[in-house]
Structure 1
């Protein structure tokens, strides 16, 4: 069993395997000690078209005060959907405090806000600004291609890109801190090939991991990919190898779930995790 302690900071849906509902079972299955700090309570996945959402800022603020008193510590913090700049501020402050207690703290940010060339329904434009602040605290960021374009202000609205444009986006996302970058859902504008591409600061190397594209949309696959990616990375895999293993695992889970008629609810992970190896 891996005893590393992971804090997940994202939204919690009442219906659907996305965000915390998808991430928690994966990390637990792979042997990590996992905690969570919900940024919002959401009635269901957004794909259904109608939803209710509760901003949990006050709960987060009070919870972090208690955790400070109890001297809780983490080995890894993963952030996802964040509702406001106020939430970003207290999350980043907590990360700074945790780094002071544990210099080896590994912080991963998934700036969830957009896909398919546009912001998600209900996401305000100012979200881009506070997500830029959120990624500044991270050692590794994992945006999809659309989110990467919004964060850099380059190629916004594009759905495909050439190698030169992709390298420009990656370099802008690396920032002064030289963080690692993993961009999902990249499509080459000439060949149409799909890949996950990025930069590993530990090896000072760029990489591209091609994958077979399944023409279906299943909510939560980004959360699932992130969970396996971080798990493999914390197990000691190099970033590119972790990306490859995570992509293969997500492909397998989508394939196993291909006959599920309720695709809006995501993948019922508990049915399939026993088929996913821990090596």
Structure 2
């Protein structure tokens, strides 16, 4: 791949299940990029099983970053996902600042909520810390619930009008990110499910409807983010990259919807050929 880049994924690592690092690594590697990782936590399994244990790796992150600085490691893209502690926000912000160079792409998925409510254990302090983190991102990919809690607008609503969406996007942009993608929304006017966003290069708001498939897999947001950033690094224009990520996820969900044990997520390695279609 001519546009192969060094990509650092900062996210949790599950022992069982295709979410976070386990979901993103195969996608970005298959798209031809050199992929590295900095785990924010070790998680026994996807949280959908109801029982799990989490090991906070904040101390490891500090030590690993110090070694990387001594060795002079550099990245073309840094993506962030689940954070296990408030301290990790400052650690990541400082590391991104130390990596700043022309062309560095920073993408943040502020993982903290879904379906109208915050995840268990997520507090207002967590929300405030995420506001600080998205401020150093070029692209953010919250779902609708996360976008609402970050901005304080329309909290709990599952559908928004076109004007309401623009208010949320503009409020998100005030925190600092240049481009915004809001996933898992529903248009109040039409009832259609859609991905909304703002493309800073084109200076355009956009709305891309999609066919909703009524099944739930953990990790689909991580795979969406991986395809999106992989396409952007490969030179695809922003809205084209969003559409490509949507198409890939729709295909993956459709292929896997008959799987009985959905809590482990989509078996991405089985369907990597979808990325070449």
* TM-score grouping bracket, smaller chain normalisation: over 0.9
Task: Give 1:238 shift.
Answer: 1.3
> What is the correspondence of 1:252-271 to structure 2 with a 5 Å cutoff?
252-271=251-270
Greater than 2 Å deviation, 4+ residue runs: 121-125
Q: CA offsets, 1:1-46, max 9 Å, x none?
A: 2431000000000000000000000000110000000000001111
> What is the correspondence of 1:90-105 to structure 2 with a 5 Å cutoff?
90-99=91-100, 102-105=101-104
Q: Which runs of 5+ in 1 are unaligned?
A: none
Residue in 2 aligned with 1:52? 53
Report the 3-state secondary structure (helix = DSSP H, G, I; strand = E; otherwise coil) of the residue aligned with 1:126: helix
Task: Give distance in 2, aligned partners of 1:86 and 1:106.
Answer: 23
Residue in 2 aligned with 1:153? 152
Task: Give distance in 1, aligned partners of 2:176 and 2:79.
Answer: 18
Task: Give distance in 1, aligned partners of 2:188 and 2:41.
Answer: 36
Report the 3-state secondary structure (helix = DSSP H, G, I; strand = E; otherwise coil) of the residue aligned with 1:21: helix
Q: Is the 8 A contact 1:225 1:250 kept in 2?
A: yes
Is 1:183 matched with 2:182? yes
Task: Give distance in 2, aligned partners of 1:193 and 1:43.
Answer: 36
Q: Is the 8 A contact 2:139 2:177 kept in 1?
A: no
Task: Give distance in 2, aligned partners of 1:269 and 1:178.
Answer: 29
> What is the correspondence of 1:31-50 to structure 2 with a 5 Å cutoff?
31-50=32-51
> What is the correspondence of 1:19-34 to structure 2 with a 5 Å cutoff?
19-34=20-35
Q: Is the 8 A contact 1:178 1:201 kept in 2?
A: no
Is 1:170 matched with 2:169? yes
Task: Give 1:120 shift.
Answer: 1.3
Q: Which runs of 5+ in 2 are unaligned?
A: none
Question: What TM-score do the two structures reach when normalised by structure 2?
Answer: 0.97
Q: Is the 8 A contact 2:105 2:138 kept in 1?
A: yes
Task: Give distance in 1, aligned partners of 2:226 and 2:180.
Answer: 15
In 2 relative to 1, CA 248–9 (structure 1 residues): closer, same or farther, beyond 3 Å? Answer: same
Task: Give distance in 2, aligned partners of 1:121 and 1:43.
Answer: 17
> What is the correspondence of 1:106-255 to structure 2 with a 5 Å cutoff?
106-175=105-174, 177=176, 179-255=178-254
Q: CA offsets, 1:50-90, max 9 Å, x none?
A: 11001100000000000000000000000000122210101
How many residues of Structure 1 are paired with residues of Structure 2 in the alignment? Answer: 276
Question: What TM-score do the two structures reach when normalised by structure 1?
Answer: 0.97
Task: Give 1:178 shift.
Answer: 5.6
Q: Is the 8 A contact 1:253 1:272 kept in 2?
A: yes
> What is the correspondence of 1:9-20 to structure 2 with a 5 Å cutoff?
9-20=10-21
